[in-house]
């Protein structure tokens, strides 16, 4: 891979492109040129609305409850905007501490609506939704522990 721009030319065996496919197609000159079918497909892609939330806890309480931390909600709404959660427990390299977190996602209109909320209301709604999704059958249990 060869990267040419306003500065020096960079060469590497591979490159990671952190752009949407459509933006990459519009802003990168590929040599050899990408196949026509690929360019047509990428040109028709539309970006969706996603919101990602990371909830950090002192402990991975969901694991203590025998849960994986992964969940899917089939009835997401403005009140309960999260459609999926995933466990993210990470041991920091060179440190004696672990990051215990759940990653949660809202999509489409629910992501847009959630983004319009004040930070305090958004946080409370996301925490309540995640708590509901991972309540393990215990009605009304709060998410924040």
- How confident is the model at residue 122, as a pLDDT? 94
Q: What is the pLDDT of residues 90-121, one digit of tens each?
A: 766 656 667 889 999 998 889 999 999 999 99
- How confident is the model at residue 96, as a pLDDT? 62
The pTM score is 0.62
Question: How many CA atoms lie less than 13 Å away from 118 in the CB half-sphere?
Answer: 3
Low-confidence spans in the chain with pLDDT less than 70: 46, 91-97, 136-145
* Cα dihedral across residues 83, 45, 117, 121: positive or negative: positive
């Amino acid at each position: 891979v060869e990267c040419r721009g306003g500065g020096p030319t960079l060469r590497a065996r591979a490159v990671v492109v952190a752009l949407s496919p459509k933006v990459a197609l519009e802003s990168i000159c590929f040599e050899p040129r990408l196949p026509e079918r690929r360019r047509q497909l990428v040109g028709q892609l539309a970006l969706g609305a996603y919101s990602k939330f990371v909830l950090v806890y002192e402990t991975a309480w969901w694991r203590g409850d025998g849960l994986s931390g992964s969940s899917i909600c089939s009835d997401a709404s403005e009140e309960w905007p999260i459609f999926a959660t995933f466990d993210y427990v990470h041991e920091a390299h060179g440190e004696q501490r672990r990051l215990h977190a759940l990653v949660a996602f809202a999509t489409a209109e629910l992501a847009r609506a959630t983004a319009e909320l004040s930070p305090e209301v958004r946080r409370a709604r996301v925490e309540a939704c995640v708590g509901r999704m991972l309540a393990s059958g215990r009605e009304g249990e709060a998410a924040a522990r």
